[in-house]
């Protein structure tokens, strides 16, 4: 990828895996302490301290890949993020992300304080904002209170 934006980059775990397949890697996160740890890895061309929605809304976007791993669990309604990425990016790109999966409702605030999202909810957002699904799968994420938590893994093109 020519240019990658790691949304909610945290300490750079995803960036570390992407460093060899991206010419320029950028990260944005709301936590200053996480960004300091990401900076120590020396893999990002630039790191920005900002809320994801604020960053997407207030910056020029020209990326080939937007990636958000283990981030949308902290955000309920994803419509603004989907809209901003789709309408503000200057060229076609890929949006890759993970969710905690639910089959109950569109969005569920779990006892853990995290949000889970249904595939139907994500599909509706994709349709609304003009994304094309190129990959989806469910995988085990972790065990929590003797229950397995499943995650949805998505790739969308636009």
Nearest to 78 by CA among 135, 152, 18: 152
43-74, pLDDT tens digit by residue?
Answer: 999 999 999 999 999 999 999 999 999 999 99
Mark residue 138 as left, alpha or beta (left: phi above 0; alpha: psi -120 to 50; beta: remaining). Answer: beta
> Quick one: pLDDT at residue 146?
87
Q: Give residue 145's pLDDT band: very low, low, confident or very high (50, 70, 90).
A: confident
Q: Give residue 144's pLDDT band: very low, low, confident or very high (50, 70, 90).
A: confident
- Phi then psi for 112, rounded to 5 degrees? -70, -10
Q: Give residue 128's pLDDT band: very low, low, confident or very high (50, 70, 90).
A: very high
Give how far Cα 27 sits from Cα of 71, 89, 142, Å: 13, 16, 25
Look over the chain and give the mean of its residue pLDDT values, rounded to a whole number: 97
Rounded to the nearest 10 degrees, the angle between the axes of helix 119-129 and helix 79-88 is: 30
Q: Is-contact 83 73, C-beta < 8 A?
A: no
């Amino acid at each position: 990828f020519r240019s990658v934006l790691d949304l909610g980059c945290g300490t750079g775990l995803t960036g570390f895996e992407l460093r060899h397949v991206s010419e320029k890697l950028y990260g944005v996160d709301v936590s200053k302490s996480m960004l300091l740890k990401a900076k120590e890895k020396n893999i990002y061309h630039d790191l920005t301290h900002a809320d994801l929605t604020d960053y997407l809304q207030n910056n020029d976007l020209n990326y080939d890949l937007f990636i958000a791993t283990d981030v949308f669990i902290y955000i309920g309604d994803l419509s603004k993020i989907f809209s901003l990425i789709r309408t503000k990016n200057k060229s076609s790109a890929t949006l890759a992300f993970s969710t905690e999966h639910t089959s109950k409702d569109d969005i569920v605030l779990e006892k853990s304080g995290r949000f889970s999202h249904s595939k139907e909810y994500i599909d509706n957002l994709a349709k609304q904002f003009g994304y094309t699904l190129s990959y989806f799968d469910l995988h085990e994420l972790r065990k929590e209170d003797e229950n397995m938590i499943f995650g949805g893994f998505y790739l969308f093109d636009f």
